A and B are shown apart, each in its own frame.
Chain A
Amino acid sequence: MNRALYASATGMAAQQQNLDVIADNLANADVMGFKNAQATFAQIGGDAFLGTAATGVRHVFSQGKLVRSGGPFDVAIDGAGFFALERAGERAYTRAGAFSRAADGTVRNADGWTLHGARIPPAATSVTVAADGLVSGTVNGKPATFGRLRLVDFAAPEKLRSLGSALFAATPAAGVPHGVAAGGDRQPKLVFGALEKSNVSIIESMMAILAAQRAYEANAKGVQAADEMLRIANNLHRS
């Protein structure tokens, strides 16, 4: 009896976790560069009927739609890859490309993460980024280049650890970050003046919520049935 009771309880816990992940996706549906996450589950105990357990959260790195934007230094990635960021010696990776130029020449996002590869003097004007990452502009009326934005990628990006919103940290399972060339045929391209929307589908998320809710109810029924059977078994003894 207890096996059924506990198996159903693991089913309820699993759907609760599932719902948490879906709710997080929905909450971030309007965050630029956010990637949809999915909780994955697997059977535990095999034929011992112990129920289910979460095996992890998998991010889906499909391309989000690119939209024109008016930010001072917005860059989107059309294709695979990540921007490499650094803050206080810490590394992170993102596809959210809303940056701005700081007074010291670095390029940063709103949370203070610095983008690798470019230093732009404050005097520079009409700064732009080419498809291959080359940053150029004019200083005192003369054309100049300010370095190149470098993209990195991972063997298994879906194994990256989420640091919240659209930021990710490297993990051993994801592999070592390696540089990827941009701009050529079959290579990712950088698009200046654009941002990548999240790849969360509101409709799919709503459907997933309904499915999770129904599965939760079904497992609750399992708990109820197991409990009821225990009660019946206890009533075998007539007083």
Chain B
Amino acid sequence: MDGIELMATAMHAAKARLDVSADNLANVSSDGFHKRVARATLGPAGLIATSNPDPAPGPLRHTGRPFDLAAVGGTLAVRGRDGRAETLRSGSFARDDAGRLLDERGRMLLSARGAPVLAGPDASIDARGVVRDGTGRTVAQLKLPPGTTVQSGFLEGPNVDAVHEMVDVLDAQRAFETAQKTLSALDEERQKDANDVARVKS
């Protein structure tokens, strides 16, 4: 790989980093969003940027609604309309007419037995995921990995730090510019090599 090709991959990598940061910034108000972290590595194919989700928890925000749930140190189990099982860190659930708890995308909250949780309007959910009705009777146990604490009345915000992302945006932009300048300099040199070095004096 020559210098010009290498600088072209560096420009691609900077662009990929900007894509990641712009998406993180766009989701600065999306509850439960996990940002991705971009990393550029130099290999035989030049500079390649890859990104991975950042598992760090986002800040918990108090909402006061009993069916807003955040699973601290674990996940909640839900099943989508298409029957696909998923896990969530946090979700805003609402009862339907049958008493099932559905989140904003219509996914229902599951109990330890894998069945939908059925809750009355005055149901409460404690830290260990026990669902109780208004009289204090246990009606279900949420499906949780061991060691999970459930916070009722809280949602997990995005783990995006806007200032950090903005610095990354500027950094990616400058890295792109540097690669472009270097590429142009190399190109100019090559132009000289081609046109001037072998020139025969007349």
Contacts and interface: CB of A to CB of B under 8 A. Distances in A.
B166 interface: yes
A236 B19 contact: no
22 contacts: A4-B19, A4-B23, A7-B23, A11-B22, A18-B29, A40-B31, A42-B33, A47-B36, A49-B23, A50-B23, A155-B99, A159-B94, A219-B26, A221-B170, A222-B22, A222-B166, A225-B169, A225-B173, A226-B22, A229-B172, A233-B176, A235-B180
A124 interface: no
Contacts of A1: 15, 18
Interface stretch (A54-62, A67-75, A87-95, A102-110): A54-62
Given A60-B64, A156-B94, A232-B180, A43 B19 contact: no
Nearest first, the 9 closest Cβ-Cβ pairs linking A and B are: A11-B26, A156-B94, A51-B26, A4-B22, A49-B23, A7-B22, A155-B95, A222-B22, A225-B173
A215 interface: yes
A65 interface: no
Contact of A49 (B22, B94, B104, B170): B22
Contact of A175 (B11, B19, B96): B96
A125 interface: no
Interface residues of B, number: 48
B180 A155 contact: no
Interface string A210-224: 001011001101100
B21 A222 contact: yes
Interface string A164-177: 00000000010110
A27 B169 CA distance: 36
A1 B99 CA distance: 46
